[in-house]
A and B are shown apart, each in its own frame.
Chain A
Amino acid sequence: MSLGILGKKLGMTQIFKEDGTCVPVTIVQAGPCKVLQVKMATAAEFAEGDKTASVNRGKKSGRVARPRRADGYYAVQLGFDNKPARVSSKAELGHAKKAGADATRLVREFRLAAAPTVKTGEEVTVKLLEGVKCVDVVGITKGRGWTGTIKRHNFSQQPMSHGNSLNHRTGGGLGRQHSISSGVPKGKRMAGHYGVERVTVQNLEVVKIDAERNLVYLHGAVPGHNRGYLVLQKTKKVARVIAAPPGVKVKK
């Protein structure tokens, strides 16, 4: 578990490497993100400015400061893509104000294994990904509406001929009849709504980082439409090191 960064898919294109290899890339605007909140496992770990929290005690006493309680886990909450105050709720504005930031359209939390080093109000930029070879990208896929089983569950098509009539793209049989356990099994894959779901693509290579414009070029496609929001994190996949058998020379 490591700190990631929030971003926006700009679109796909291709670039050429020096040796002429053509690389399909997705250009992602990653950050800058504001740290809206830092969560700590114990109250003692809070940074100086984070030690107190105010609570509304009603009309008489108004807002009263009290020691902030521990969150019970380590996490960093990031905000990305500022939005105007007129479309933000008061709760969003108040929460962002504590970090000295504007309200943002996307707020996500990253759980961490150890106490985070970033502080509330700091900025996380694409420089975070420098030196990272591969990332996992979370996005919301494009909506496909109501789809049949072929598109939704990769069912096979039925024969176009050989006496088949009107049943080319249908799902086929649903269950069994005349037996003790008759009926349609639970979880039977059928036609229905497909898309608009959270999908993670693992192990996408970071081709290039443009720190000046907060851009990162990823090898391959990421979920969702252009301008869709993404979460980028160092990949969970572990690069497999295959040891050469004894006596075998490895070509470098």
Chain B
Amino acid sequence: MNLLRQLELEHMKSAIPDFGIGDTVDVHYMIKEGDKERIQVFSGTVIAIQGSGIRRVATVRRLVAGEGVERIFPLHSPRVATVEVKERGLVRRAKLYYLRDREGKGTRVKPNMGKLRFPRSGKGSGIQKTAPKTES
């Protein structure tokens, strides 16, 4: 294996939750308030995943008071505690940037009713109608 990739692996989290584009997720993110640290939950739709290895980031979009808010989370950052999958989405693109131009009902992503297999990245996946419990 490429040495650089090997070194990257050593700094990566052993596992990141299996989620994909179009999924509705809760990202538990550590924030600092003064001296205290607490976990904040950012829930929204995953509209893009970019990068590989330790540089992997996910863009999560949600609507706050009718205004679109997007946050980019480095998945291997120690500040991203967990990513909880709320609902699997059924989408036909890798990047859901079209959601930015939509309002109201148009922003909904079709729920995946067991049509796609999970986990997407692994072997031995069975059809699961409910979102599987994700590891942190």
Task: Identify the stretch in B2-10, B86-94, B113-121 within 8 Å (CB) of chain A at 4 or more residues.
Answer: B2-10
Instruction: Take A10-B3, A27-B4 as given contacts and tell me if A15 and B78 are in contact as well, using a CB distance cutoff of 8 Å.
Output: no
Closest to B80 in A: A20
Other-chain residue from B3, B4, B77 in contact with A22 (beta carbon distance below 8 A)? B77
Kindly identify, within residues 73 to 106 of chain B, every residue whose CB is under 8 Å from any CB belonging to chain A: 74, 76-79
CB distance from B65 to the nearest CB of A (A): 28
Residues of B within 8 A of A18 (CB): 78
Count residues of B near A (Cβ-Cβ below 8 Å).
Answer: 14
Instruction: Take A22-B74, A22-B77 as given contacts and tell me if A16 and B11 are in contact as well, using a CB distance cutoff of 8 Å.
Output: yes
Kindly identify, within residues 108 to 122 of chain A, every residue whose CB is under 8 Å from any CB belonging to chain B: none
User: What is the CA–CA distance of A109 and B3 in the complex, to the nearest angstrom?
Assistant: 29
User: What is the CA–CA distance of A215 and B6 in the complex, to the nearest angstrom?
Assistant: 13
Instruction: Take A14-B54, A14-B55, A15-B54 as given contacts and tell me if A20 and B4 are in contact as well, using a CB distance cutoff of 8 Å.
Output: no
Residues of A within 8 A of B76 (CB): 16
B111 on interface, CB distance cutoff 8 Å: no
CB distance from B79 to the nearest CB of A (A): 4
User: Interface residues of A toward B: which range?
Assistant: 10 to 19
Flag if A27 contacts B77 (CB, 8 Å).
no
0/1 interface trace, chain B 1-34, chain A, CB 8 Å (1 if under): 0011001100100000000000000000010000
Flag if B77 contacts A16 (CB, 8 Å).
yes
A171 on interface, CB distance cutoff 8 Å: no
Flag if A13 contacts B30 (CB, 8 Å).
no
CB distance from B48 to the nearest CB of A (A): 18
User: What is the CA–CA distance of A18 and B37 in the complex, to the nearest angstrom?
Assistant: 13
Residues of A within 8 A of B132 (CB): none
Closest to B79 in A: A20
Flag if A13 contacts B78 (CB, 8 Å).
no
B68 on interface, CB distance cutoff 8 Å: no
CB distance from B73 to the nearest CB of A (A): 11
CB distance from A74 to the nearest CB of B (A): 35
User: What is the CA–CA distance of A13 and B11 in the complex, to the nearest angstrom?
Assistant: 11
Flag if A20 contacts B30 (CB, 8 Å).
yes
Residues of B within 8 A of A20 (CB): 30, 77-79
CB distance from A126 to the nearest CB of B (A): 14
Flag if B55 contacts A16 (CB, 8 Å).
no
Residues of A within 8 A of B54 (CB): 13-16
Residues of A within 8 A of B11 (CB): 15-16
Instruction: Take A20-B30, A215-B7 as given contacts and tell me if A13 and B77 are in contact as well, using a CB distance cutoff of 8 Å.
Output: no
Q: Which A residues lie at the B interface, using CB under 8 A?
A: 10-11, 13-16, 18-20, 22, 27, 215
List 5 A-B pairs, minimum CB-CB distance, nearest first: A20-B79, A11-B4, A15-B11, A20-B78, A13-B8
Given contacts A20-B78, A20-B79, 14 further A-B contacts (CB under 8 A): A10-B4, A13-B7, A13-B54, A15-B11, A15-B54, A16-B11, A16-B74, A16-B76, A16-B78, A19-B78, A20-B30, A22-B74, A22-B77, A27-B7
